[in-house]
Chain A
């Protein structure tokens, strides 16, 4: 309940807060203070754990009916059977006897030490053949009531009426084609429309304490996942964000979606009590829509990493890397000397076994195909060369491999449509004292996967950043020495050289250390984050020209919206000051700025890939003028309306202010005499009309110039 509500309620009930002594209030005992939670989940969880307390008792039916003389013998047999399956409590076996005939009734109760043992005994001994006519029917005591109520006749189950779910894709149907973004600042998590026309964000949903650590969009933007003590939850829907599903995983730390957002991977690790031990890791894979846990993995952190400095408390996230494409078919895990590839049909290893690759340190999926690239460093002091290989899944066939010599490190970069793979190779110089970098470029879609070696013009340049153009054939590299490195653009195919990589341009001495391509390619932001205080250069790679240079002082994060129309730069709470974000147009014009203290996170809501075919897109691009006309008219209307509204707002504010001023003037006039008395009769009020602003224009004659124009004939 909001504070306002409480106050209103109190006023209604006639409670004066100042008279309430809060210390004297004694809350009813119990964790819920006697108030039942309306959250069903709390209820359910409790029930499942503390049922009636007879969970460790089973009922064994279809025992032989024996007279008193044979009672002990039968008892001995039953005890013998069930002692193998669990520890029966002392006096835990009770076989009732008919008081008239002194015959047993053909059943008995057995109490075990634990419910687990009882469960186990039930499962193992149900259907046990004592002899031909006596086949045990074993049930849990707790189930008995339920079983007794089962009707004798079978009833067809009633089909539940179909309740149409909310349209989870509704945000895509926004008639202004805006994008959404989520921000976290202070305790609040807010979702906004980025309304560039109105030059401000339009709130969609706001909730304080929505998540306990961070939020994340699913890769296609359908869900927003929040993290809680009890587990993760996904939110989405048509208008407001409603909770769609929950995934129980206590103390969940990290989450990851499969690329087609069918599965959610949750991660939890526990610091070991003994610092020498590895931390305990628990990973669960859920089906996003049904909420069912598909598989869980438990173990020490060593099993989920390759050792060395990991990302989060031992294991580097994401532990499971998903194969590209929307099918969510495979995911892979890298651990020491092994690559385990799972498939999602059965959630088990492909061919029931992992791939053994000695010393593998890095794997990387193609973003579109089920091809895994892996890197194995040099071994045996250089006797065995380092290796980069491409492996087809599920066949595990090696498509291509390349041996590399005197390598210190490798990094693999896939181009977003899976056409190219760039491997940045750091090699030792001959003296082994320093390293230099080069690239191995794989053309995946071509026959035999040709490899090309690219070296920078100056071999000794350090490579600071590398980025592929999304969906394109170009890449950008920042190389050279800080503080003013160079930026180069390369293309995998130009009109002259279709099969060769060629350099497009080098920009000298840029204040940049990070590259941000627009998701549609063509435009790139050369950003100088951290040490460069947020220098931004908006660059058009088609024309090779700078569109704008700007600065978002102290900027820490840059993110393009999914359409490549706008870009957000943010200062998050790693800095104390200036927290907030700025929205820019793709060409570097500030649209608006928002300042928020304790700003933690900004994330654009991703969009699923377009349904338009490439031909259709081309056609639209060709006839852009025709289509854009309508939108330009709309834009103009909005801007007219805005200025109109603005004028009205200003007028209202001015009027309101005038009212105050009039009131003050009147009061001031009223009090004139009293004031005069206070000032011992000095006529005082001269200050008001003494000064007034006058516009005075004056011209200075500075000099006179005479020009003699000679016509030269």
Chain B
């Protein structure tokens, strides 16, 4: 008995092609096998090493082609979202950068930093357009619908209590002024407000922070409209808040090892996701009913135990059933930032380890059934 291998094109497969073919085969085999597999087996992430300190925030632009990353080093960085190529950095901050937001047309970037400023940048040129000065660290920033307003939260510092500032963003940077349109004082001024975002039609601002309470404020009057129920709300500091594309609901992550999904208008608790480690970052898939939680053991306790104990995994949950689907491992420190590409076909995570990991889902992911 003899066997002969004939390539249909009559060519020798070179090594690279072979690899491609093999990986193809593997993928196909896995599809046939089962849909119940952890996600980690299917994706090769792109490792983006550009930051020297822990990541704090990740943000895609609306088109999903650019990815902005913030870290405790002083330079927010811009990456190409499909291959992880570094396009440039925004130099000018003099402290850890905690948050950023990009305008709808991807022309403006706003960043908040521990150097007590928030800065407006020209995305393309990397030029600083304006600097808002505060008496304390700027913790979170968010552009409103229409990009004419921005909400910036500041920490408490030296007798200044934590607050939410609303700034008007001028069309022309020449006309930009630093005055606040509205300042909201948190009832507990000694606790950080970790995140504040705009509600539907810029009528409300939703904030959450270390005092565990989610608050909805009226942007016209500055009045507190609603706050989350103590019984069902978070029990420990809220670390992250991510809203749906249509501003209808939002997801909060907390150190109490849960993430909760709320209606943005009524502040009704809709879903609750329980995990085993403190949640530092949350994201919602715009495409499927999936939510992702990232976190891990507190950075200070990490070195004391086995690396597996830290659980530095991005955990995927079914939004509706509240059940865990799978996890993506890889970071060797807690995950501090998570973001979904607006097309829902890739996501990136940023860790205490200083890496950004960019994951493109393969076809298996879209066939998961639980």
Contacts and interface: CB of A to CB of B under 8 A. Distances in A.
A679 B246 contact: no
A668 B247 CA distance: 8
A691 B343 contact: yes
Contacts of B289: 657
Interface stretch (A83-91, A280-288, A493-501, A704-712): A704-712
The 3 closest A-B pairs by CB, nearest first: A664-B248, A678-B146, A657-B320
Nearest to A4: B231
Interface string A680-713: 1000000110010101100011111111111000
Contacts of B5: 703, 705
Interface in B93-116: 104
A660 to B, nearest CB: 6
Interface size on B, as a range, is: 35 or more
Interface string B144-167: 111010000000000000000000
Interface in B334-370: 342-344, 363, 366-367
Nearest to B342: A687
A671 B2 CA distance: 72
B246 A578 contact: no
Contacts of B263: 660
Nearest to B365: A693
A668 B144 CA distance: 16
Interface string B267-308: 000100000110000000011110000000100010001101
8 contacts: A660-B263, A664-B244, A667-B265, A678-B145, A678-B146, A691-B286, A700-B24, A705-B3
Contacts of B4: 705-706, 708
A224 interface: no
A688 B366 contact: no
A653 B270 CA distance: 11
A479 to B, nearest CB: 27
Contact of B367 (A576, A695, A708, A709): A695
Contact of B319 (A657, A691, A701, A703): A657
Given A653-B321, A668-B248, A693 B366 contact: yes
B250 to A, nearest CB: 12
A696 B31 CA distance: 13
Contacts of B367: 695
Interface string A426-467: 000000000000000000000000000000000000000000
A675 interface: yes
A653 B320 contact: yes
Contact of B8 (A554, A654, A671, A701): A701
A660 B263 CA distance: 9
B301 A576 contact: yes
A577 interface: yes
A10 to B, nearest CB: 15
Contacts of B8: 701, 703-704
A664 B25 contact: no
A81 interface: no
A518 to B, nearest CB: 29
B89 interface: no
Contact of A577 (B249, B276, B287, B288): B276
A701 B9 CA distance: 11
A573 interface: no
Interface of B: 1-8, 21, 24-25, 62, 104, 144-146, 148, 200-202, 244-249, 263, 265, 270, 276-277, 286-289, 297, 301, 305-306, 308-309, 311, 319-321, 342-344, 363, 366-367
B306 A533 contact: yes
Contacts of B305: 577
A3 to B, nearest CB: 8
Nearest to A674: B201
A531 B21 CA distance: 44
Contacts of A693: 287-288, 366
A650 interface: yes
Interface of A: 533, 553-554, 576-578, 595, 650, 653-654, 657, 660, 664-665, 667-668, 671, 674-675, 678-680, 687-688, 691, 693, 695-696, 700-710
A171 to B, nearest CB: 30
B1 A709 contact: yes
Contacts of A576: 301
Contacts of B245: 687-688
Contacts of A680: 146
A710 B265 contact: no
A533 B309 CA distance: 10
B202 A678 contact: yes
A702 B26 CA distance: 12
Contact of A707 (B1, B25, B246, B342): B1
Contacts of A705: 3-6
A688 B6 contact: no
Contacts of B320: 653-654, 657
B366 A708 contact: no
A624 B21 CA distance: 54
A710 B1 contact: yes
B6 A703 contact: yes
B233 to A, nearest CB: 14
Contacts of B3: 705, 707
A706 B288 contact: no
A708 B2 contact: yes
Contact of A688 (B25, B246, B301): B246
A665 B200 CA distance: 12
Contacts of A660: 249, 263, 270
A700 B309 contact: no
Contacts of A702: 21, 24-25
Contact of B104 (A665, A668, A679): A679
Contacts of B25: 702
Nearest to B264: A664
A578 B276 contact: yes
A161 to B, nearest CB: 47
Contacts of A691: 286-287, 343-344
A650 to B, nearest CB: 6
B249 A664 contact: yes
Contacts of A700: 21, 24
Contact of B248 (A657, A667, A707): A667
B200 A671 contact: yes
A653 B322 CA distance: 10
Nearest to B277: A577
Contacts of B62: 687
A664 to B, nearest CB: 3
Nearest to A551: B308
B146 A679 contact: yes
B102 to A, nearest CB: 15
Nearest to B4: A706
Contacts of B244: 664
A43 B144 CA distance: 66
A595 B311 CA distance: 14
* Centre residue among B8, B144, B200, B289 by max chain A CB count within 10 A: B200
Nearest to A668: B246
A576 B21 CA distance: 46
Nearest to B309: A577
A554 B146 CA distance: 52
Given A680-B146, A705-B4, 19 more contacts: A553-B306, A553-B308, A554-B309, A577-B276, A578-B276, A578-B309, A653-B321, A660-B263, A664-B249, A667-B265, A668-B247, A678-B146, A687-B62, A687-B246, A693-B366, A702-B24, A704-B6, A705-B3, A710-B1
